[in-house]
Amino acid sequence: MSTADGAVPEHLDVVIVGAGLSGIGTACHLSTEHPQRSYAVLEAREDLGGTWSLFRYPGIRSDSDMHTLGFRFRPWPDSVALADGPSILQYVRDTAAEYGVDRHIRYGRRVTAAAWSSAEQRWDLTVSGAAGEEHLTCSFLLWCSGYYRYDQGYTPDFPAIEHFGGTVVHPQLWDPELDYADKKVVVIGSGATAVTLVPAMTQGEGRAAHVTQLQRTPSYVLAIGRTDPIAETLSRWLPARIADPIVRAKNIAQLTALYQISQRFPGFMKGVLRKQAVAQLPEGYEVDTHFNPPYNPWDQRMCMVPNGDLFKAIKRGDADIVTDRIDTFTEHGIRLASGQELEADIVITATGLNLQLFGGATLTVDDEPVRLPDTMAYKGMMLSGVPNLVFMIGYTNASWTLKVDLVAEYFCRLLRWMDAHGQAVATPERDPAVEERPLLDFEAGYVQRSIHELPRGGDRKPWTLAMNYAIDAVALRRGDLKEGMRFEPERATIPA
């Protein structure tokens, strides 16, 4: 293939799309285990870090503990469990620099189309940037850009929002110049972003006069320590190479146990969460109204709050929660279905994300468009009928990076096997006997709004998405690489 001006596009062994946690982690695995392979990381923005460089709202922090959100090959170097955004961003930057990955990142490069050619056994990528459009080719394409749109968050069609005389902002597009000091703020939402914003805006210089969290449906909220006491203790007595795996294993076990107990004994877990909330809130607080969701624990993601900061803000009187539906916006705030009106100078729509796999790029295989709902996800990381393409979807019930690390390890293992057996192409082949299932069995609004646009899952291995680290660790590190996969030897001559 040649470009319009007759030039042959640059060819790379691997192209990684996205320089967030997923892309940087995958690049580190690749550079360590396959140092002879050429690769580039294409990042649409002008900075690495993904979520952690994009989101700048007050209090931005992890909603998973950092000893599992951090990489297994480079453990989180602190006892802080729920870290702030700038610290996580620095960790990603330091990781990229330490492994030399930063030298392979090409910023301002958005992949708009990816076309596989079976004749040439490679991907042709159309990449847009400041200098215009360019083409690259690669043997393997790894899509590590996450699953939500970076240019816009989800905001419902609120009645008469244009009549509101104050400021409306979505956390994904936060204006760092926004002054909320001594202002009345309403945060619409009940997820991780909302429970982070509410206490953060009631603290420090320039804090808001009052913050109200307005939610249609409550979430389960669990207070955990900001720091990990076991990590602190072990770090004083043991070298990091021994302490870090112990802390990580302990936290993985805790996450798994919390999820399994929630799913198997939901009534018991509801009681535990309610008791904790009652103990931290003012006497007589309406816990069953504001912290009692109509679903079981972990049917949607549970919100973690460090040192119970949300509960403390409510107890101080700096914040409150209102559970109701919006009737309409008014000039001075929001009128609710109950008739109550919330006055506001600023309204923050922490109402979720818009899902978008592959950054909105078009995929084709031999000039045939790939329609995602017509494909089935192989091990939650490849698409049926689509050769040499791996994508990253992390866990919804645990730290994202746990799955990313496993997928990167699997990919490097797959490459070694293909090299040893003289194979150049790996294509998952869908078994017609496998019944379809939703890819993500998760009730969160952002998933349910877009589930029809995603690949399908299956009712049996290797077409299931386990959402269980222990199961995945065995399957992806030791499972049969040939299961459900068609391989082809190299037959094309690819220019260097």
Q: What is the CATH number of the domain that holds 308?
A: 3.50.50
The whole domain housing 183 covers 161-349
Give domain status of residue 494, yes or no.
no
Give domain status of residue 307, yes or no.
yes
| pTM reported for the whole predicted model | 0.91
Q: Does one domain contain both 387 and 485?
A: yes
Q: Does one domain contain both 205 and 324?
A: yes
Q: Does one domain contain both 234 and 325?
A: yes
Q: Does one domain contain both 336 and 189?
A: yes
How far is CA 325 from its chain centroid? Answer: 28
Give domain status of residue 156, yes or no.
no
Q: Which of 349, 380, 410 is the last residue of a domain?
A: 349
The residue-averaged pLDDT of 479-484 equals 92
* Amino acid residing at 467: M
Give domain status of residue 496, yes or no.
no
Q: Does one domain contain both 323 and 225?
A: yes
CA-based radius of gyration for the chain: 24
Give domain status of residue 65, yes or no.
yes
Q: Which of 312, 327, 349 is the last residue of a domain?
A: 349
Tokens of 46: 């002008």
Report percent pLDDT > 70 for the chain: 95
Give me the number of domains the chain comprises.
2
Q: Considering the chain, what is the average pLDDT of its residues? A: 90
Q: Does one domain contain both 329 and 370?
A: no
Q: Does one domain contain both 276 and 385?
A: no
Please tell me the number of Cα atoms within 13 Å of 139 on its side-chain side: 22
At residue 329, the pLDDT reads 96
At residue 4, the pLDDT reads 53
The residue-averaged pLDDT of 151-179 equals 91
Q: Does one domain contain both 141 and 223?
A: no
Tokens of 228: 């990990």
Q: Does one domain contain both 113 and 174?
A: no
Q: Does one domain contain both 242 and 138?
A: no
At residue 232, the pLDDT reads 83
**Is 80 exceeded by the pLDDT of residue 261?**
yes
The Cα 329–Cα 245 span in angstroms is: 51
Q: Does one domain contain both 296 and 178?
A: yes
Range of lowest pLDDT (128-142, 246-260, 278-292, 446-460):
446-460
Backbone phi, psi, residue 290, to 5°: -105, -10
458: β partners = 436
Q: Does one domain contain both 135 and 192?
A: no
pLDDT band at 5 (very low <50, low <70, confident <90, very high): low
